[in-house]
A and B are shown apart, each in its own frame.
Chain A
Amino acid sequence: MSRAVRAPSAPGGHAIKRARPLLGTLVEIGAHGASAQAVDAAIDQAFAAVQAIHELMSYHDPASDVSRLNRAGAGCVTVHPHTWAVLALARDVAEASDGRFDISIAPELVRHGYLPRHAGFAQPAPEANWQHIELLPGDRVRLARTLHLDLGGIAKGYAVDCAIRALRDAGMDAGRVNAGGDLRLFGAAEEAIHVRHPHAATRLLPLCRLSDGAVATSATYYAGRLMDGRAVSPLIDAATRRPCAGGRSVSVLAGRCAVADALTKVVYADPEAALSALRHFGAHAVVLDADSDTPGHCRARASAPGGWHDLALTGPEAIAA
C-alpha cells in the first residue's frame, strides 16, 4: 500500500477528507477505501465514535461520566467501559511519571479560567489527587476522597484512537484523524508531520515522517491567557499545581494517540523527569524552546535512552517581526 491518503483521484479507490466541530476543536477525518460510499460511511462511523467519547468525557456536559463523578463526591459510580479505560490509562501515566500526569487538576483549571465553575459539584478535598481514584471491576470507580477530575489531557487522544479503530473496522485501507493537533494515521505511505514555532504559529517545522502511529503536540501559542498580568498556560504542573510557563512546544510520538496526548503534559512540565515515562511507553519526544540568547530563535531537542540530545536547526528559523 503506497498510495497517500490525500490523493483525491488515487487509482483503485477513493480518498475523502471531512471535518466537524467536536471536542472543542476542529476534528478532521480522512480515509481511503474501495468506493466513495464506503469511505463516507466509514467517516460517519468515525465521527460517531468521537462524538460518543466527547459525550462521556466532557467536563462541560452535566450528563457526562466525568460530571457524574465530579458531582458524586466520595463513593462509587459505574461508568462506561470507555471512561474506565481512559481512567486506567491515566493511572498508568500517573504512575510512570511519579504523578506529573494527574487528572484531578480540574480545580486549578477552573481557578485559572480554563474550565467553567459548576454549581452542583461537591467541594474537593484538600490534597486529593489521582491516587484517590480507585478502579474496581465491573467498570466501577470509587473516589476515596471528593475530587474534580478533567480528562482534557487524554480524552482527545483516546477519541482519535477510537476513530481510527472505526475506520479500520469499516474496512478502510488507510486513514488519518487529526483532532486539533492530536493526530494518528494508519495504512498510508509515510507522511510528513509539522509543528509550529513556539513563538510564531505561522512558522512550521517539519518534525518527522510518520506512518502507522500517533503524534500529539502541546504548546501554548493559541491557548495562553493573562492572569493578574502574568501569562499562564492551560497546562498545569501536577508537582506544583501551578500553570506551566509558556514558550515551549512539546510533541510526543507513540503508537496510541491517548498515550502521546497524556505524555505531552508530562514532558512539558519537566523534560528531564519525563524520560523514564517516555521509555516506559516506548514513546519519543521533541521539545522546542524559545532561545533566550537569540530572540526569535528556538532550540530543539529529542529524547533518547541516555537523555535529551540537541538537534541542530539549519536555515533561517528566525521569526519575522
Chain B
Amino acid sequence: MQHPPAWLIAPALASFVAAPAFAVQYLDIGQAQKLFFPQADSFTAVPLLLTGEQKTFVEKAAGVRMRYARQPVWKVSENGTHLGWVAQDEVYGKHEFITYAVALDAAGAVRGVEILDYRETHGREVRNPNWRAQFNGKTHGAPLRLDNDIQNISGATLSCKHLSEGVRRILALHAAALK
C-alpha cells in the first residue's frame, strides 16, 4: 500500500490564517532601469505633466482614463546617444495594486515590462485613503507581510487586464508627449 508522500503534510495540523494584505517587492526603479538598459550611462528624470489636451489625447488613444496628469519618466542615454525611455506607473484592480516599469526604445516600441511591487488587496480597502496612506513614504518597503512562507500561494490567478491597459496608456503617452 502506497503512503501519502512525505511532502504532503496533511492540513489536519493547520488552520486558515487571515491575509489582510500581501505585498512583494521585486525591484526598485533603479534596478529596473539597469535591467532594461544595461549599457546606458544616464537615466535623466523628465517627469511629465500633461496638458489637458494631451490628457484627452492619451485617454482617447488608449481607451483608458488617466487618473493623474503627472507621470514619472526617465530619458535613457549612452554617451549622449538617446536609447529610449523608462516610465513608472501603477494600476489597481479589484484585488491587486501593482507598481511597474515600462521601457520604450528610441522609436517608442515596448522593450520590456517589469513589476516593481505587487500588493494584494481584498474588499474596498484600496479605495480607502487611510488604507492607502500606510504605504506613503515606503513605496518600495515591504508592508504588512505575514511571514515569508506566504509567498507560495497556489491558485492566485489574477487577470493582467489592468496592466495591459496601463502599458497601452504609456504608449499613447509617448505619442502625445515624448515624440
Contacts and interface: CB of A to CB of B under 8 A. Distances in A.
Given A181-B155, A194-B153, A201 B10 contact: no
Contacts of A238: none
Contacts of B9: 208-209
A203 B153 contact: no
Contacts of A218: 155
Given A210-B7, A253-B7, A223 B1 contact: no
A26 B156 CA distance: 9
B79 interface: no
Contacts of A195: 153-155
Contacts, number: 162
Interface residues of A, number: 63
A81 to B, nearest CB: 27
B18 A202 contact: yes
Interface string A205-228: 111111101011111001100000
Contacts of A34: none
Does more than half of chain A's interface fall in helix, strand or loop, or is it mixed? strand
A313 B7 contact: no
A222 B158 contact: yes
B53 interface: no
Chain B: interface residue count, which band?
A: 35 or more
Contacts of A192: 149, 152
B12 A26 contact: no
B155 A217 contact: yes
Interface stretch (A66-74, A98-106, A162-170, A298-306): A298-306
Interface of A: 4, 6, 17-21, 24-26, 28, 40, 176, 178, 180-183, 190-197, 201-211, 213, 215-219, 222-223, 249, 251, 253, 284, 286, 300, 302, 304-306, 311-317, 320
20 contacts: A19-B26, A25-B160, A178-B154, A180-B157, A180-B158, A181-B154, A193-B154, A194-B150, A194-B152, A203-B17, A205-B15, A205-B16, A208-B8, A208-B9, A216-B155, A222-B159, A284-B4, A305-B1, A315-B16, A317-B16
